[in-house]
């Protein structure tokens, strides 16, 4: 009886690296597709474009690195098994493969339960259905591949393995290209971050203007009046030009804040003011519109005296 070769350190390293790359790649691919669905079918109440774009970039970066590593390591392992057939039964391969099959099966079962439950509850929407389909297809592909690879004859299946490797690479590349279509070039990403800084600055200035009115019952004549060495507030400036933001008083209660943006915000985007959320008479936050065009754009704000405290005279 021929004694099987025990698993050596390089085998454990090869399998651990391969399966870790597989897990990261699968999660990154599903994340990428989910965020593409989010951008295509946004929920105005729960969705922010910047978060989706950041998630897409992280997923794309991961796929560009981990999927080639997974394919290369899988090829190395397959060649090793073709020479040493006994390694097809080594413990690390069987344990990691069965674990992956188990996780994929559980994922598909939970995914189907969620789909049926949403259907019966009348809450099944197109974006939700597409996300469920993504999870089902990806986990099903992983389940099918690992189960087939575990049961196949080590001396056969070379053509099938090549076909699967090329097919998976093509699908991942297609997903990456789709992601790039949405997130754009690195230059676009930088422009978006700079525009986000401008919006944060305008929101901070808005807070200070409203706070000034709360204390004095009048709008400041210029933004310079908002500088306060006690609170530490220093008037923000444009991150590129270093010039001050525009402020125009339209009346006793109305003012404009203006800035020059590099990119147009996504259509229909309503960004809440994190620096100073305004509230209605019932205490509910008002979702302010901070969407803007490329180039110079202004935001008109009107103070409602009923929603803000008036200064009290101290005898």
pLDDT one-digit tens code per residue, 126-172: 888 898 999 999 999 999 999 998 888 877 778 888 899 999 999 99
Tell me the three state secondary structure of residue 191. helix
* 106 and 79 within one domain: yes
Q: Reply yes or no on whether the pLDDT at 105 is more than 60.
A: yes
- Candidates 122, 280, 271; CA nearest to 202 is 271
pLDDT for res 183: 77
* 301 and 278 within one domain: yes
Tell me the three state secondary structure of residue 170. helix
pLDDT for res 184: 74
* 171 and 111 within one domain: yes
Give how many domains the chain has, as a whole number.
Answer: 2
Q: State the pTM of this model.
A: 0.70
Lookup result for tokens 């001050």: 244
Domain that holds residue 271: 188-307
Distances (CA, A) of 122 to 38, 116, 132: 20, 10, 15
* 227 and 128 within one domain: no
- Candidates 259, 264, 150; CA nearest to 201 is 259
* Residue 7 DSSP one-character state: P
66 CB neighbour count, 10 Å cutoff = 22
Domain termination site, one of 144, 166, 184: 184
Domain termination site, one of 140, 156, 184: 184
* 135 and 16 within one domain: yes
In a domain, 315, yes or no: no
């Amino acid at each position: 009886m021929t004694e099987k070769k025990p698993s050596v350190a390089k085998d454990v390293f090869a399998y651990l690296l391969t399966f870790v790359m597989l897990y990261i790649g699968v999660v990154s691919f599903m994340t990428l597709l989910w965020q593409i669905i989010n951008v295509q079918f946004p929920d105005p109440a729960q969705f922010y474009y910047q978060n989706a774009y950041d998630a897409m970039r992280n997923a794309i970066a991961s796929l560009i690195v981990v999927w080639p590593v997974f394919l290369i390591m899988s090829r190395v392992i397959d060649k090793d098994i073709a020479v040493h057939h006994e390694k097809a039964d080594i413990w690390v391969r069987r344990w990691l493969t069965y674990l992956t099959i188990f996780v994929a099966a559980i994922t598909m079962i939970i995914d189907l339960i969620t789909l049926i439950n949403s259907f019966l509850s009348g809450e099944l929407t197109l974006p939700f259905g597409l996300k469920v389909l993504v999870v089902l297809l990806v986990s099903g592909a992983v389940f099918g591949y690992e189960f087939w690879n575990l049961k196949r004859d080590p001396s056969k299946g070379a053509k099938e393995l090549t076909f699967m490797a090329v097919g998976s690479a093509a699908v991942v590349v297609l997903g990456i290209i789709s992601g790039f279509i949405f997130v754009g070039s690195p230059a676009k990403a930088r422009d978006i971050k700079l525009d986000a800084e401008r919006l944060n600055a305008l929101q901070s200035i808005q807070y200070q203007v409203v706070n000034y009115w709360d204390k004095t019952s009048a709008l400041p004549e210029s933004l310079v009046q908002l500088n306060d060495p006690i609170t530490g507030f220093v008037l923000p400036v444009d991150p590129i030009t270093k010039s001050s933001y525009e402020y125009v008083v339209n009346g006793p209660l109305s003012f404009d804040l203006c800035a020059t943006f590099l990119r147009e915000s996504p259509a229909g985007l309503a960004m809440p003011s994190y620096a100073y959320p305004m509230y209605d008479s019932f205490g509910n936050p008002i979702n302010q519109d901070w969407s803007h065009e490329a180039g110079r754009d202004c935001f008109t704000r009107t103070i409602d005296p009923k929603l803000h405290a008036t200064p009290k005279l101290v005898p």
